[in-house]
Structure 1
Amino acid sequence: MISLGAFMHELFIPSSCIEHIRRISCFAAILLSGLPACAYTEEISPAQETSPTEIPVASSVPTPVGIAVFNMAWAGTIDDFKRHVEVCSAPEVDWCDSRVKISRGASHPTPEEEARAKKCQEAFIAAAGGFDTAMMIAPCNAYGKHPARAETVENYNLKLDGLRAAVEDLIQNEKIKVIAFQEVKSQETIERVLGKFAGQFDVCAAPHSAFQTVAFAWDKSIPAGANRCTTNRELALAENPGDKRAHRVRPGLALELVIGGSPVTFLNVHLKSGCANLKTAPGFPGHQLTDSEPACTVLNRQIPILEDWIEQIASQSPRFILLGDFNRRIDEEARARIPKAQVRADGSDPAGPNTRDEFGSVKSNYLWQEIADGSPSMYQVRLTSTEPGCTGFKGLDHIVISGPVRRAQAGAPRSSKIALVKSGRQSIATSDHCPRITILEF
């Protein structure tokens, strides 16, 4: 026989309602039986038996939790920065840009441009001491257009000071308890930007073979669950399959916390860049994810991995939040109202099996319609305000909540973008992303 509490959990009824339902059931029992009092109990299986102090008690009062997404733009330690300067200032490198540039209006780079970028990359790898070492160093164009003039330890310290001021503002003034970071090198970097709140927060970062990874910081008042921090290494796929020296994109990171007596899982992502727009905008051509654009083919290969991960987590923790830098305007995709038959190039149902080819590509034209196929149910937290002075990339950072989390909210959840703290003499930007925040009830 299933207990009332377990039955309510299966229906994903918010904890704030369960207590009222129990009381009504108890009152009905009194009327029918004539007993002076009644009690209700939760059945606990042998696997769930713990000492009384270990059993989290669900609260009948919703617990508000402030959540933030923050891409910190190649944030590392001072030592990481010094190593970057050492390699980039080597005579054979001379601050060259290893990215392949494509002229406006062209679909492919010229052979001369490809040769230039390859020469730069080989020089960078040699100066770094090998491919694996080079991947752990920020590229020469990471911190501005004129790095040779701007990149001093003093200027990089100003960037870190800006990041610290931004994070302290999120915690102190916005009441943020959980922060999902992108473009960060290490746990040590996170502890540095937490500033005066470093002792108040726990931190974990996903191990990775390249400089940029993802990380979490969460207030120690929120206990971690059994699956505290788990890295999804599959998302960190090689950009060029079969190439032993291919760069790998970022992994994913799951964080399980216990809020309101039950687990809530946060999924932090930083997907492949370069295929952000569905509709063409100035300087940014629009693409479906089955287009031949190289960046789109990589992002396409991440889709089934992300979808499988979401479904696996949903089966274990129905209350989950997917957040991070999607590098895709999923809000734009949602507004496009794509018919189900057009979500995949072969017309198959996005809720059905997603067949991969030998390279891991799928027929999915769109990211949002593919992952939000109704199983599990997912909702975007709408961006409703942006502070003045908040510039940089737009439409890339998102917060997505599962159906059970959405139903626990008193109204439609909202999010805001918070302006960064900047110094007037700062030549290395604090970040090219503003933090995005929301308050959710659990």
Structure 2
Amino acid sequence: MLRIMVAIFAIFLISSEASARQVTIATWNLGWHMDIGTAQTWIDACSKTYQKEPTGQWVPSTAAGSPTGWEVPNTFDIHGWNTATLPVCDVYFYRGVVRVNVDAYRKRQEQIAGFISRSVPADIIAFQEVSGEQAVKEILPGGGADYDLCGFSGYKVQRLVIAWKKSLGTKVSCNVEDALSLPANPDSKRPRPGLSLTLNVGGDTLRILDVHLKSSCVSPFDGGKPDGNGNDCKILQQQIEPIEGWVERETSDGAKVVMLGDFNRNLWHELRDQSPVRTDGSAASGPRPSGALSRSLLEEVFDGQPSASNLRLIDEQCETNEVGAALCTLSEIRDLDTAESALLASQNYLGCRNPVGLDHILIGPGISATAPAEHTGIRRLGTTRQKDDGTDQVLAISDHCPLIVRLNL
């Protein structure tokens, strides 16, 4: 009898493990990250000299004393600067803008690759602010040999790429979600698109939406309400409808859904803001009346209707010491002051300039998290430094820390 009971228990354990597949997922904004070829082109362009025209534009110049692109106040004022291929010049700072050399950029890539190998044990990594798939291959363990990639070209240089281990599952589809880029807007007011990946994972359909939403409308506590008067908040307001459209469409067939990325929005503050979700006071679960605006992206999109589309924001914690962990918790309740933010971003704590409040992971029905998502510290690797003569450059690997969670599917 005892042997039979042991056998039944073993079968139960095997069955439970099979029905609750565990997958580790991460999101990481890599901060204007480029493949080495693009980086060389960028360095060459920023190292050229320019002069300012009466129109305010900067044009190439060979005149003595002309400033380089590193010194131009706004790179996008340089005539002909192609935002589809090149970042701004002032990406890295150390007592002023760092004039990056290609050897330092290669070293940065090596540091990212080493950090991923040591500290990002994820089956799926959703990247933001990368120039393309090649930029991701160059920083994945083994040059990405064990990974498949979903990405796109075009748009602007801050692109999205999702990488997953080939052993995890097979790609069903990889689609650019153009609606999130607001194609009806003029180019100057078009944010980034979304990136949608569908995988077959052991017979389950897993859909992932990677986002990098409009910046500078971070918190309702600091006046950043999507219904506000600022242009950035107006653009974020426009992204709500296409996000909700994707969620309702892609959850309608019972697929398991994860939405993650750099929301540029403190969703925890939205939950704690007591203002009505809509400016007209109508329920977020019903059709939005003409002229009504939403104050909360989270509560507008995930309103419980239909129930399958009601994604849940995963709890977050920080991989740091006791003081840092307390600051992380506090940051979900109110804005951190300047000193608190600087402490959390310092290399003895998390080390990234944007440690919390922007990156999030949400999960739909049929998925659970084994523990809170963790903001993983990059510490000293988040600091740029060089000698006074510009030599011995060390470039920060990012201004964001990766957010990692282990999920049961």
Would you call these one fold, judging by a TM-score over 0.5?
yes
Measured at CA, do residues 196 and 97 of structure 1 come closer, stay the same or move farther in structure 2, by a change above 3 Å? same
Instruction: Identify the range of structure 1 (84-93 vs 189-198) with the bigger mean alpha-carbon deviation.
Output: 84-93
How many pairs does the alignment contain? 340
Does residue 117 of structure 2 align to residue 168 of structure 1?
yes
Q: What one-letter code is carried by the residue in structure 2 that aligns with 1:345? A: T
2:270 maps to which of 302, 323, 333: 333
Structure 2 distance, partners of 1:145, 1:167, is: 25
Secondary structure of the corresponding residue to residue 438 of structure 1: strand
Determine the structure 2 residue equivalent to 1:391. Answer: 352
Q: Look up the SS of the partner of 2:103 in the other structure.
A: helix
SS in 2 for 1:246: helix
C-alpha spacing 1:149/1:141, structure 2 compared with 1 (3 Å):
closer
Using the size of structure 1 for normalisation, the TM-score is 0.70
Q: Report 1:251-290 matches (<5 A).
A: 251-280=193-222, 286-290=223-227
**For the Cα contact (< 8 Å) 2:91–2:97, is it kept in 1?**
no
Distance 1:191 1:297 in 2: 35
Other structure's SS at 1:309 match: helix
Q: Contact 1:206–1:252 at 8 Å: present in 2 too?
A: no
What SS is found at the alignment partner of 2:92? coil
Q: State the 1:145 CA deviation.
A: 6.0
- Aligned counterpart for 1:229 among listed residues 160, 170, 174: 174
Q: Secondary structure at 2:395's aligned position in 1?
A: coil
**How far does residue 76 in structure 1 lie from its aligned partner after superposition?**
0.5
The letter for the 1-side match of 2:179 is E
Aligned in 2, Cα 1:419/1:242: closer, same or farther, shift over 3 Å? closer
State yes or no: 1:196 paired with 2:151: no
1:343 paired to 2:277: yes
> Aligned partners of 2:185, 2:168: CA distance in 1, in Å?
43
Deviation, 1:309, is 0.7
Identity, in percent, stands at 26
Matched residue SS, 1:279 = helix
What's 1:400 paired with?
362
Asked if structure 2 preserves the Cα contact closer than 8 Å seen for 1:319 and 1:402, the reply is: yes
What's the TM-score once normalised by structure 2's chain length?
Answer: 0.76
Say if 1:209 and 1:248, in contact at 8 Å, map to a contact too.
no
Query: Which blocks of at least 5 consecutive residues in structure 2 are unaligned?
Result: 1-10, 51-57, 59-67, 321-348, 386-391
Quote how far apart the aligned CAs of 1:268 are: 0.5
Offset, 1:288: 1.0
Match of 1:178 among 116, 124, 142: 124
Which stretches in structure 1 are left out of the alignment for 5+ residues?
A: 1-18, 21-56, 100-116, 281-285
| Residue of structure 2 aligned with 1:297, choices 221, 230, 234 | 234
Report the aligned-residue RMSD.
2.7
* CA distances 1:397-440 after superposition (whole Å, capped 9, x unpaired): 0000112213xx5x6x4111212272876542110001110000
Alignment of 1:101-180 (within 5 A): 121-122=76-77, 124-126=78-80, 128=81, 133-144=82-93, 149-170=98-119, 174=121, 176-180=122-126
Cα offset for 1:346?
Answer: 1.5
d(CA) in 2 for partners of 1:287 and 1:97?
31
> In 2, are the aligned partners of 1:265 and 1:320 still within 8 Å (CA)?
yes
Deviation of 1:58 after TM superposition, in Å, equals: 11
Q: Is the 8 A contact 2:31 2:400 kept in 1?
A: yes
The counterpart of 1:68, out of the listed 16, 20, 26, is: 26
Deviation at 1:302, TM superposition (A): 0.6
- Tell which deviates more after alignment, 62-71 or 343-352: 343-352
How far is 1:98 from its partner? 7.7
Aligned partner (choices 299, 305, 330) of residue 369 of structure 1: 299
Q: Larger C-alpha radius of gyration, 1 or 2?
A: 1
For 1:86, the equivalent position in structure 2 comes to: 44
